[in-house]
A and B are shown apart, each in its own frame.
Chain A
Amino acid sequence: MRKQYVILLGFLAFAFLLFLLRGLPLFNGLYSGVQNVFSGPKSAIYKLKTGIVGGENSEMERLKKQNDSLSKKFADYTKTIRDNEALRSQFETVETSEYKLLPAEIIGFIGRLNEPSEFVIRVGKNNGVKRGMAVISGLDLVGKISQVSESYSRVVLLSNEAFTEVARTSENGSLGIVTGHRDFILLAQVSIKDKISENELVMTRGAGETIDSLVPAGLRIGKVTSIYKNASMPYQTARLSSSVNISKLETVFVVLGF
């Protein structure tokens, strides 16, 4: 009995030491090695789960073309938004930006089977990914990077309770904060004086004078499905639905720069 205690306490102490020292560059090779070894099997298992079968080379070619096309569309779209904002305000200057997108394969998820709360993607620090970066599919925001390791990253999805982002409505320009609530997405802290309409699109607000964000403006978060308004309260809220089908996603794009 005593020997068993010693063994267990020894392993427990070693695990604690590893937990404390996990951030040391010494272990980067180990993390990278393990993640690279398991990347192939995880990718295959995840593809089985989503029911998608295809050749890797042709899939990569298709994704590269899609990446190029999306990068251009994304730049044109956000420039149009900024042009409109500039015309409205008459004081802003508009800069043309190129958005740097990194394609990332989804190789796992965390949370419930039918409603995952996070994705694990096959890019990490080695690819220039940083915490807080936006992850998109088309022009839709899928989530934000929450954890980064050498070759993998975790993406917190819109429905995750840890997700928050400043947003504005597309038609009325009302500002609010989008938060995840497991089964739905909520646009909260919208001033009672601002107008929100049903079926109105909600987009990311992006960085501003007082907001430091790695998420660019103009990404689609969702559509307003219902509004909760009480004239005696200073704020109103709205429930949103995302147009992204999470269960069918296989590849997403990380916005590295804008």
Chain B
Amino acid sequence: MSPKNIIQMVPLILIPFEATFFSIPFFFITSMLLYILKPQVGIVLVAFLGSIVLDILRVMPVGSTALALFSAFLLVEIMRGEVIFTDYKLATIFIFIASFGYGKIFQYSDNILIYAIIFSSVYLFISYFYRRSSWLK
């Protein structure tokens, strides 16, 4: 299995942890991040299946996470090509707002400090690891 395929599976690996005790929507965040960086059908499929499984495990209305996630993907697609996603800072802010909103609606933690710490790490990942590595390219 190539590193690319392993990274695509990261959202799925996080599901049992998120359905048990994570209070931050990591599945949503990682799916958004991977979709912005690499909008491939494999990632879309993983995101869809994962969101259904997550809803079943969290005893949420099945399909609700998929609706939220794919609405966000659609918004990304509408905005892609415009100025916003050529700048990774703006992409990080977009994921931050989307995941905070998702977390508020779907009963995750609403501690803004935790989100700020996570997204600072996301920004560092995008800024340094993605640009300097060929794994995701």
State the A residues within 8 Å of B (CB). 1, 4-5, 7-9, 11-12, 14-20, 22, 27, 30-31, 34-35, 38, 41-42, 45-46, 49, 107-113, 117-118, 120, 147-149, 152-154
Contact = CB atoms under 8 A, between A and B. Distances in A.
28 contacts: A4-B39, A5-B77, A8-B70, A12-B70, A12-B74, A14-B48, A15-B51, A16-B63, A18-B66, A19-B63, A19-B67, A27-B62, A38-B19, A45-B16, A45-B20, A45-B21, A46-B20, A46-B21, A108-B19, A108-B20, A109-B20, A110-B108, A111-B109, A112-B109, A120-B19, A120-B58, A149-B56, A153-B59
Contacts of B57: 34-35, 38, 42, 108, 120, 152
A237 B81 CA distance: 57
Contacts, number: 111
A77 B107 CA distance: 37
Given A38-B16, A113-B23, 10 more contacts: A8-B44, A8-B74, A11-B44, A11-B66, A14-B48, A35-B57, A110-B107, A110-B108, A120-B19, A120-B59
Contacts of B58: 108, 110, 120
Contact of A22 (B21, B62, B70): B62
Contacts of A49: 20-21
Given A8-B44, A45-B21, A107-B20, A147 B74 contact: no
Counting from the closest, the 5 A-B pairs by CB-CB distance are A19-B63, A15-B66, A18-B63, A22-B62, A108-B20
B62 A18 contact: yes
B9 interface: no
A14 B52 CA distance: 11
B5 interface: no
Nearest to A18: B63
Contacts of B67: 12, 15-16, 19
Size bracket, chain B contacts: 35 or more
Given A15-B66, A109-B21, A111-B23, A8 B61 contact: no
Contacts of A46: 20-21
Contacts of A38: 16, 19, 53, 57
A1 B77 CA distance: 8
Interface string B28-62: 00000000000101001000100111001111111
B111 interface: yes
B129 interface: no
B19 A4 contact: no
Contacts of A153: 59
B123 interface: no
Interface in B97-134: 107-111
A12 B74 CA distance: 9
B107 A118 contact: yes
Contacts of B39: 4
B19 to A, nearest CB: 6
A9 B53 contact: no
Contacts of B16: 38, 41-42, 45
A35 to B, nearest CB: 6
A41 B13 CA distance: 12
B61 A22 contact: yes
Contacts of B63: 15-20, 22
